[in-house]
Amino acid sequence: MRRALFAALVAGLGLLALYPMVATGYGIRFMLQLFMWVALAQSWNLISGLTGYVSFGHVAFFGTGAYAAAILITAHGWHWVPASFTGGIAGVVLALIIGYPCLRLKGPYFTIAMLGLNEVMRVLVSYFEGLTGGGLGISLPILYASVEIYYGMGLAAVIVTVVTYLIITSRFGLRLMTIREDEIAAEAMGIDTSRYKLYAFLLSAFIPGVVGGLHARDQGYIEPLSVFPLLTTITMIVMALFGGKGTVWGPVLGAVLLFVFQELVWAQFLYLHQILFGAIIVFVVLLMPRGILGVLQQRYHLPRTI
Partner 1 sequence: MMENFILEVREVTKRFGGVIAVDRCSIELAPGKIYGLIGPNGSGKTTLFNCITGLEPRDDGEIRYKGACIDGLKPHQVARRGIGRTFQIIRVFPELTALENLLVATWQPLDVVHRRALELLQLVTLERLQNEYAGNLSYGQQRLLEFARVLMTDPELILLDEPAAGVNRTLLNELLQAIRNLCAQGKTIFIVEHDMKVIMDLSEKIFVLDHGEKIAEGPPGAIQTNEQVMEAYFGR
Q: Summarize as ranges the residues that interact with partner 1 (CB under 8 A).
A: 171, 174-175, 177-178, 180-182, 184-193, 246, 298, 301
Give the count of alpha carbons within 13 A of 111, CB side only: 10
- The residue among 52 and 63 lying less far from partner 1, judged by its C-beta, is 52
Longest dimension (CA), the chain: 57
- The residue among 129 and 192 lying less far from partner 1, judged by its C-beta, is 192
- The residue among 15 and 184 lying less far from partner 1, judged by its C-beta, is 184
Nearest Cα neighbor of 42 from 156, 195, 181 is 156
305, 169 contact by CB (below 8 A) = yes
Closest distance between partner 1 and the C-beta of residue 92, in Å? 24
Closest distance between partner 1 and the C-beta of residue 190, in Å? 4
- The residue among 128 and 298 lying less far from partner 1, judged by its C-beta, is 298
Closest distance between partner 1 and the C-beta of residue 184, in Å? 7
Rg of the chain (C-alpha set) = 19
Closest distance between partner 1 and the C-beta of residue 53, in Å? 16
- The residue among 155 and 177 lying less far from partner 1, judged by its C-beta, is 177
64, 262 contact by CB (below 8 A) = no
Closest distance between partner 1 and the C-beta of residue 187, in Å? 4
Cα 175 to its chain centre, rounded Å, is 22
Closest distance between partner 1 and the C-beta of residue 186, in Å? 8
Closest distance between partner 1 and the C-beta of residue 179, in Å? 10
- The residue among 276 and 306 lying less far from partner 1, judged by its C-beta, is 306
The dihedral through the CA atoms of 219, 224, 227, 230 has a sign that is negative
- The residue among 145 and 295 lying less far from partner 1, judged by its C-beta, is 295
Closest distance between partner 1 and the C-beta of residue 291, in Å? 13
- The residue among 172 and 266 lying less far from partner 1, judged by its C-beta, is 172
